[in-house]
Structure formats: C-alpha cells, structure tokens
Structure 1
C-alpha cells in the first residue's frame, strides 16, 4: 500500500471487521460490550465514519485488543513518515498520538505530542508494559501515584495497566515516542 493511498478510515474499518469476525463477535455483541451503537460500528466497518480516539478506545477495550490493532497497516517493510493528518487527538486537543507500527503482534509504537501546560491520563490492558522516550523538553509523569521528572532523551518503563498521567508544565510542545507491549496480541 503506497503512502499516497492510505485511507485511515477504510483501514480501521477493514481491521475492525477482520478482528471482530476472527473473535466470532457479532456487531450487536460488540455494541453491548463497547457502549457504541450498532449503527456507528457498521459505519466504521464500511469506512463511512471517521471515529474519534474515544470511540476507537472503547472498541479496542470491548474487543480486549491493543488500540494499534485497529489502525495497523501490514507490509513487509515500511517507512513511517510523519503525517500531520494521521493522528488521534485527546478530548481537548491537548494530546496527539500517531500510531506508527505494530511489530510481531504484541508491540506497538506511537509518536505523541502533549501541548504546553496540559496533561493527559490513561491506562492500558492488563499485562501491558509502556516505554516512554522524551524527544524534547521536560515531561512530568505520574505512574501509580509516583511522580517522575523526565528530560530530553530520558526513558521511563512501567506497567501500562497502571493509571498514568503525562504532564507538560512548560510553554513548549513536548514530543514523545511510546512503545506498548502486550502480553497477548
């Protein structure tokens, strides 16, 4: 698939349909466990909707899969170029994440940006591990109630299932690389 022909909505829909069918889950069952309407799920699967990060998160949780599984593009070798139009934004547009790739079924890589003077909190599936690499500036991270001050090129590894908060207390954007590893793909 060439870079010029990437249609994120269609790829998400295709991936969702394949994953749902491989798990033998009906759209009705998925709607129930993810708290997303059947109509919305159908539109996503057909590539007719551009789902928000919140909706994709609920779908991934409902299927008990990593979020990147829904936006994965499989090729033998790929260049992952920075594209400003292929990202997911937090509810207040203060957190941006771009899925980069999924490696060997259980590891996914993301580029992320947190806006000045903002924070974002999340947690991942049980048994997951997250690694954060700070590319510029300073970032405060709270993991399991413990604060960590990270500087450019610092790396923090922690259990992804613990609630963690990214805080940018500076007046500049902070860019990150994130790696998520799951116990099962």
Structure 2
C-alpha cells in the first residue's frame, strides 16, 4: 500500500508542476483541502477513491492516469489481455477499492475499472468532468446507485448507464462484498487530457480545457 501511496504522491506533484498550481490553487480546483493534498504529496495519507476522483476531475485527467503514467494509444494490441494493475486502494475508509483494469485509451475515450464495495459501505462521489458517462455492470453481490436523488438497485448481471458529471453515490445493501465493472467514457469536448498536461492537446480539439 505504501508503494501505491508514493506513486500517487509523485503523480500529484507532476500534475501540479504541469499546471504551475500552488496547493491553494489545487485545493480550489479539486475540492480537496490543502492539508489533505499536502499529506498525500508527502505520502502521509492514503486517499479514498472519492478523493482521488476529485483530484482527477480537478486536473481534467482520467482516473486511471493517477496510476498508469503511460496512456494506451492507437496501435496497441487491441486483442491483448488487460494489463495487471495495482489497486487504487485496498479498501479505503469508505469501504471501496478500485483497480484500473483497462487504463484510459485516448483513441476510444474510455477506461475500465473493477470496483469492490464492502458490505454496508456507502461511497459519495462528486461530479466528474462535464460530459463524463459511467456504465456499470454488477459482477457479484448487490449494488445501489443514487443518481439525481433516486436510489436504483442492481443485482449480478444488471447494469446502469448514467451521466456522472453530477453528484452520485454507491452503496452495498448486501451481507457480502459487491463487485462491479465501471466503464467510464470521456467524450470529446469534456476537456479531459490523457496525460500530464505537458504539450498535449485536450480531447476537446482546439478549445481550452476551461480550467
């Protein structure tokens, strides 16, 4: 877990340098407190999945880019097996863990996460970048998803697609862990950039990212 925290710390510093943002500016853009950001950069805190999402959304980068320094690009073997990835967390304070199974592909504009939610756990998510859409498919257990204030219950084999650029939440009403696949689509025009933000155009062609 220490290795994961150190990698996230390095990624956060890289992103801040690329934008020339102070910790104060980063706190404003991400909604994560300056104190927490400092702890993450020093490797003193293991951020929750929800906090990592705030950081990714604030910097307009895909979630998996916090763990995968090299984005998948055109020309990679599309039929190859997914790369083994370290978990984003090994069960955070909210009882959620996420593994980027297929990291962000700039040609297709999506990434695939495998998410596990502990029994009885609830995880609140702030809005992602404008236009981002999530596609959930429950693999094991039961999952409830709140979108627009309404909870929807899903069981194994069932799925849900929803606009993730608004507040949403996940909870596990079951007695065992819930596991689901989460395909996250970043459409062109969302302002999300696939890399560190250095010399790379955003997915929104010629328009500015809006930061």
Shorter-chain TM-score above 0.5: yes
Q: Residue 135 of structure 2 contacts residue 184 of structure 2 at CA under 8 Å; is this kept in 1?
A: yes
Q: Give the Cα separation in 2 of the matches to 1:178 and 1:119.
A: 16
**How do residues 20-169 of structure 1 correspond to structure 2 at under 5 angstroms?**
20-27=16-23, 29-31=25-27, 33=29, 34-37=32-35, 40=38, 44=41, 48-53=43-48, 55-74=51-70, 79-81=82-84, 87=89, 89-92=91-94, 94-105=95-106, 106-122=109-125, 123-169=127-173
Which structure has the highest strand share of the two? 1
5+ residue gaps, structure 1, are 1-5
Q: Residue 82 of structure 2 contacts residue 102 of structure 2 at CA under 8 Å; is this kept in 1?
A: no
| 1:7 aligned counterpart, secondary structure | helix
| 1:131 aligned counterpart, secondary structure | strand
Q: Give the Cα separation in 1 of the matches to 2:88 and 2:65.
A: 15
Aligned-residue offset at 1:143: 1.3
Residues 36, 170 of structure 1: alpha-carbon distance in 2 compared, 3 angstrom cutoff: same
What is the CA RMSD across the aligned residues, in angstroms? Answer: 3.3
5+ residue gaps, structure 2, are 194-211
Aligned-residue offset at 1:115: 1.8
Q: Give the Cα separation in 2 of the matches to 1:139 and 1:55.
A: 21
Q: Residue 54 of structure 2 contacts residue 128 of structure 2 at CA under 8 Å; is this kept in 1?
A: no
Q: Give the Cα separation in 2 of the matches to 1:117 and 1:98.
A: 20
Which residue in 2 is equivalent to 1:3? none
Which residue in 1 is equivalent to 2:204? none
Normalising to structure 2: TM-score of the pair?
0.65
